[in-house]
Structure 1
Amino acid sequence: MNEYRIALSNFPARVVIHKSANFSNEEIEGLSQATKALRIHSVDFVTVMDSKIRLFRDGKYPPFRGTFVHFDETRHLLYSRGSVWYYKTYPGLYVPQPIELRIVRSEESPSFIAKEILDLTKMNWNNTQFDGKYPVTIGCA
């Protein structure tokens, strides 16, 4: 956070914390206190994990990249890899596995969080794949 402040002369208004395991109450409380001390107004806690749930669609290709399913207020399914409209096919070799998003705490809507995560799957510049399964915050951490 100090590097961010040095670069922009301010702390961010919003911080999103992605984790591949569940958050403990102590982690949430500690991170909330730390961000409050820095006057960060909004903190989102999101768990990004593998899912055993699979979706099917008519035809011979997997669900589209970006397919989003809302189970309840905290649990959601996102296909970060899948068929691509532009290519009219699925560019992968294996059946895509969606990721489960568990939104522990957020002021944003689940669809907004999913869109951010989907955008972050395209940011791993260490490989030539245009989409990754995980957001760069998890995949390169």
Structure 2
Amino acid sequence: MIEDIHIQILRPHTTEPYNPEDPKREDDATTFWNIIVGLFYKANHLPWRVQGLMQDTSYLGVSFFRDRNDSDNVKTAIAQVFSLDAEGYVFKGNKALVNENNSPHISKVEASGLIKYAIDVYKRNKGYPPQRVVVHKTSRYNDDEIAGFRAGIEQTQKLDLVAFGTRNIKLVRWGQKPPIRGTVVRLPDNSVLLYTYGYIPYLGVYPGPRVPSPLEILEHHGITPIDIICREILVLTKLNWNNAKFCTKAPITIGFAKRVGNILREAPPDIKKIGDRFKYYM
């Protein structure tokens, strides 16, 4: 990044007249609301505030991406959200490790360094360290990752590690409406299904075209009750300022970590400095 400028790029397709037969084209009102919300955020304003996140907490999302110039080089992309003001930051980790099942992980040293850096970013912006750190990851944790994350925090800080996955499980609800957003189902293997997308009683609609599928919480390592973990995830699905939707399926931690990874994988190798705010990746 050469200049610290927030820009908005519009594809020609976005400005074309609305065509109801085009599945990729939203109606004009939705399109322009999305643009306005994004521009408002890029102008250093918060479009809305949310309640339900614990105070003095840093939420991290860890995702992985393959380098465009070297498909064997898997790196980490991290999105960080602060509680209360919900300010978002991003940064790129180092090379990840890939096991025999082709599943990417990070080393104990990398996990420790990653969480220490995230805490330092929080401290530089807030003036004090977080009392709690929550890590969202798109794959299960191995022993080295758990040990590394725990080694990277102070004894006075709390840590919650949450792993997401999907087995394409879909449930049906008695009646004509799909499962309600916020529904939690505990499975015998201790995993949890959370409907972050579903029927919304407040709006009286389900804002989706198909039967909703839940977000699956494969693992949770920490002392925070799972109902609080689920409540925080629901709040984090309402912090995507790249559009004006009521919510998204994935929490912003994971959704933006994936988005940042898709952008960073296209970055030329000679670019050393990247933007560290969400607004550069919208």
How far off is 1:73 after superposition?
7.8
Mapped partners of 1:79, 1:90: distance in 2: 12
TM-score normalised by length of structure 2: 0.47
| TM-aligned CA distance change 1:58 to 1:74, over 3 Å | closer
* Alignment partner of 1:27 is 2:138: no
Q: CA deviation at 1:96?
A: 1.1
Q: Which amino acid aligns with 1:115?
A: R
Matches of 2:196 and 2:131, distance apart in 1: 27
If you compute each CA radius of gyration, which structure gives the higher value, 1 or 2?
A: 2
Change (3 A) 1:80 1:51: farther
1:116 to 228, 232, 242: 232
> Where do 1:1-141 residues align within 5 Å?
1-36=119-154, 39-72=155-188, 74-141=190-257
Query: What is the rounded CA distance, in whole Å, between the counterparts of 1:80 and 1:33 in structure 2?
Result: 31
- For 2:166 and 2:189, the matched residues in 1 are separated by 18
Between the aligned partners of 2:244 and 2:127, the Cα distance in structure 1 is: 34
Q: In structure 2, how many angstroms separate the alpha carbons of the residues matched to 1:32 and 1:74?
A: 22
Q: Percent identity?
A: 37
Deviation at 1:112, TM superposition (A): 0.6
**Structure 2 counterpart of 1:35, one-letter code:** I
Aligned residues: 139
Residues 51/79 of structure 1: CA separation in 2 closer, same or farther (3 Å cut): farther
The letter for the 2-side match of 1:67 is T
Relative to structure 1, is the Cα distance of residues 15 and 74 closer, same or farther in structure 2, using a 3 angstrom cutoff?
farther
- Unmatched 5+ stretches in structure 2: 1-118, 258-282
Question: In structure 2, do the counterparts of structure 1 residues 51 and 128 end up closer, same or farther at CA, with 3 Å as the change threshold?
Answer: farther
Per the alignment, do residues 138 and 40 of structure 1 end up closer, same or farther by CA in structure 2, a change over 3 Å counting?
A: farther
Which is worse superposed, 91-100 or 48-57?
48-57
Contact 2:170 2:211 in 1 (8 A): no
Q: For structure 1, which runs of at least 5 residues remain unmatched after alignment?
A: none
**Structure 1 residue 54 displacement after superposition:** 1.5
Superposition TM-score, scaled by structure 1 size: 0.90
Q: 1:30 Cα deviation (Å)?
A: 0.8
Partner secondary structure for residue 152 of structure 2? helix
Q: Alignment RMSD, CA only?
A: 1.6
Q: Is the Cα contact below 8 Å between 1:15 and 1:40 reproduced in 2?
A: no
* Distance 1:72-1:16 versus aligned 2 partners, 3 A rule: farther
